Structure 1
C-alpha cells in the first residue's frame, strides 16, 4: 500500500493533467452557464483541497528532510565533541606520564598499548615497541599509579606484557613501611592478593604494598596495591594472605613505561639487579 501511494505521489503532475483533461472533455457537452458552475464546483471541491493536500505533504516531506539534516548535524557534532573530550583525556594522560618521567633521571621507554588481549579481563597487553627499541624479557612495566606487569615475549616492533592479574604473575612484595615480605599475584576470583605473609605480620586496611626488590626483576618501591582485607591462608596453614585493591586500573591503561635503566638492568644478562635504592620516591613526589 505504501508503494502505491508513493507511486501516485511521484506521478502527481501526470495524474492532475489527466484529471483536468477528463473534466474538460466532460464540460464540452454542457452549456456555458453549466460549464461555469461546474468549473466553480470543481475548483471548490477538488482542485483547492487537492492543492492544500499537496502543500501539506510538501511541508511534511520538507520538515522530514530538515529533521534528517538536523539529526545528521547533531551526530556529527556529538562525534566532534567526543573526539575533543578524548583528545583532552589523552593530553591529561600524557602530561601525567611526562611529569612522572621527569621526577628522576631513570631511563624509561614510553609505549602505547595497541591490544588488550582476549577475554573479559585480559591478562596480557601488547605494546608498540620491541627489541629494536631496546626491550627485552622481564622488564618491569609501569604507569604513574604503579605496577602494570612485565615484558615476556619480544618481537622487533611489538612486545607482550604479562599483567599483574595473570595467573602466572608473581612479584616479591612488602608493606611500604615494613620489611616482612610476601608474594603478590593473582588469587581467588582473579583478584590481586599478597600471599605467604608470616602470622606475626600486622597489616592494616589501606596499607600500601610495594615491590620488595627481591626476585631479580622488580626494583624496590613500585606500588602494587593497598590492603583491603587480611585472612588466614587455608592452603598455607600457618600463613596469612591479604586481598589487595590494585594501584593500577588495567581498564584505563593506554600508555605505559618500561623500566630499562642501566642502573637496574644487567647489560649482559638483561636481568634486573636487586636495587640498592628504592623507586618509591617517584610516587612520593608531588
Structure 2
C-alpha cells in the first residue's frame, strides 16, 4: 500500500517541480520583457495588501505577546510589593505595641517610686468570664509572693485585691465587684464613706449623710483604714450625686480611675494585711 501511495504522489511532485523550473527559467529569460513586467506588477498589486495585512497581524501578535509578558511581570512585582508592605505594616504594629508597653511600664515605674512601698510587677493574663463577678488573673502567685489580700494598683488608681493565690498565678477581685468594699474618703474635704462595688464599671460611696458636701468631680481616695489599700491611692472620681433619695444617706456613684476593662500591667503591693475577708 505504501508503494502505491508513493507512486501516486511521485507524479504530481515531478510535475510541480518541472513547472517551477520552467517558470524560474522564463522569469530569468524575460525579466525585462514588458509582458513579464506587467504580470509582475499585477502580482505585486494583488499580493501587497495581503502581505501588509499579514505584517500588521504579526506585529499586533508580537505586541500582545510582549504586553502579556509585561503584565505577568508587573503582577509578580505587585505581589512582591504587597508582601513587603504587609511586612512593614506588621513591623509598624509591633513597634507601636512595644512603644505603648514601654510607656505603660514607665508610668508604673513612676508610680512605684511614688509609693515608697515594696511592690512587684505582674501582667494580666485573663479576665474572669463569669457575669456575677469582676476578676482578673495575673501571672504571679505564691512562689512570687502574691499572697491573699494584697492590693493591686495600675495606671490611674486602685485595681482591687488578691482573693485567690496559686503557685504562679493569682486571682484579683476588682473594686467594681459587688463583693468588694473598702473605707474611702473625699480628697477635698475628707468626707468618709464605704466604697462598694456595683458591677459594670462603677462603684458607690455608701453611708454618706445628705448634709455632707460631695460634688461631681470630687476625687475618692483610699483612707488606709482596714489595711487593705495604701492610704491616699485613688479609687476614682464622683460621677453622680443624688440627695433626693429616701433615707438619711445620699446616693454617690464613683467611676474608677483605672481602666479596669483594659488592664495589661499592674503592681502588687507587698505589705502586711490588717484585715482580709475574701
Residue 139 to residue 208, structure 1, CA distance change in 2 (3 Å): same
Please name the residue that 1:138 is paired with.
149
Please name the residue that 2:56 is paired with.
44
Residue 239 to residue 233, structure 1, CA distance change in 2 (3 Å): farther
8 A Cα contact 1:219 1:272, kept in partner: no
8 A Cα contact 1:116 1:122, kept in partner: no
Over alpha carbons, which structure has the higher Rg? 2
8 A Cα contact 1:211 1:220, kept in partner: yes
Secondary structure of 1:221 counterpart:
coil
8 A Cα contact 1:146 1:224, kept in partner: yes
Cα distance, 1:200 vs structure 2: 1.8
Cα distance, 1:135 vs structure 2: 1.4
Cα distance, 1:239 vs structure 2: 1.0
1:83 aligns with 2:94: yes
Please name the residue that 1:16 is paired with.
none
Secondary structure of 1:142 counterpart:
strand
Alignment partners' CA distance in 1, 2:199 and 2:252: 11
1:169 aligns with 2:180: yes
8 A Cα contact 2:176 2:200, kept in partner: no
Alignment partners' CA distance in 2, 1:142 and 1:188: 19
Show CA shifts across 1:172-198 (max 9, x none). 211124343222233376522222211
Residue 61 to residue 249, structure 1, CA distance change in 2 (3 Å): same
Cα distance, 1:220 vs structure 2: 2.1
Residue 83 to residue 157, structure 1, CA distance change in 2 (3 Å): same
8 A Cα contact 1:218 1:272, kept in partner: no
Structure 1 residues not aligned, in runs of 5+: 1-29, 266-270, 275-286
What is the TM-score with the length of structure 1 in the denominator?
0.72
Please name the residue that 2:248 is paired with.
238
CA-atom RMSD in angstroms:
3.1
1:116 aligns with 2:127: yes
Show CA shifts across 1:196-252 (max 9, x none). 211121112211101122334223222101112211484x72211212232111234
Matches within 5 A, 1:1-286: 41-45=53-57, 47-118=58-129, 123-187=134-198, 190-232=201-243, 234=245, 237-261=247-271, 265=272, 271-272=273-274
Alignment partners' CA distance in 2, 1:221 and 1:188: 23
Residue 119 to residue 155, structure 1, CA distance change in 2 (3 Å): closer
Cα distance, 1:88 vs structure 2: 1.3
Alignment partners' CA distance in 1, 2:77 and 2:213: 69
8 A Cα contact 1:227 1:243, kept in partner: yes
Alignment partners' CA distance in 2, 1:136 and 1:66: 59
Residue 103 to residue 188, structure 1, CA distance change in 2 (3 Å): closer
Cα distance, 1:122 vs structure 2: 8.2
Cα distance, 1:110 vs structure 2: 1.2
Alignment partners' CA distance in 2, 1:85 and 1:251: 20
Number of paired residues? 235
